[in-house]
Chains A and B, each alone.
Chain A
Amino acid sequence: DVKVTQSSRYLVKRTGEKVFLECVQDMDHENMFWYRQDPGLGLRLIYFSYDVKMKEKGDIPEGYSVSREKKERFSLILESASTNQTSMYLCASSFGTQGIDEQFFGPGTRLTVL
């Protein structure tokens, strides 16, 4: 079974702190994604990556950056956390050279910024 793990289930940070959210997948997937999920808004794509050291902006990249130094690991970085970044963050991965494939999700990290 594909396993996507996220470093924390719950995280509380203060405004202005730098926040790292880590995601690891164990199925040698090329593609990895970061979403945020807010009530009634579904999942919105922040960034994605099709290969090591490669990244593409999604729909809402402002205030975020990402890093993919190894194929299995995709990190989401909040350079200076703000209260409007309080949300559920979901990482996903998929196999193949294009994103139009089933995405496997991690359990999510619920981030609260005070």
Chain B
Amino acid sequence: GESVGLHLPTLSVQEGDNSIINCAYSNSASDYFIWYKQESGKGPQFIIDIRSNMDKRQGQRVTVLLNKTVKHLSLQIAATQPGDSAVYFCAENRGNMLTFGGGTRLMVKP
């Protein structure tokens, strides 16, 4: 899950398994959420987004689930591959800005 402290949560999964990365957001007025992937030495890359009028959105091998009741967001990656190893950030909008979580490191074991 997400952390706002100095320790980066780590999720370790076996290649081929499904991964679920969780994020708790703070602002019940947020209406736009986005997941980014950041590989070592690179800037964050967009994965998928969702607006608050939806509770699920699917992309290629990824699904984002939004539970507004408990202010929870999750990213599901199907059939995780070594190339999925990265740090994943969720972000919510705060007015016209994005607020990012602390990130979760995903490690894929061969």
Contact = CB atoms under 8 A, between A and B. Distances in A.
B97 A58 contact: yes
- Greatest chain A CB density within 10 A among B42, B96, B99, B103 is at B96
Contact of B101 (A4, A35, A42, A103): A42
Contact of B96 (A40, A92, A99): A99
Interface in A83-109: 90, 92, 98-100, 102-108
Interface residues of B, number: 29
Contacts of B98: 45, 99-100, 103
Interface string B1-36: 001111110000000000000000000000110101
A110 B56 CA distance: 36
Which label, helix, strand, loop or mixed, suits the secondary structure of the A interface? loop
Given A4-B43, A104-B46, A105-B44, A98 B102 contact: no
A102 B48 CA distance: 9
B4 A41 contact: yes
Interface of B: 3-8, 31-32, 34, 36, 41-46, 49, 89, 91, 93, 95-103
Interface of A: 4, 35, 39-45, 48, 50, 58, 90, 92, 98-100, 102-108
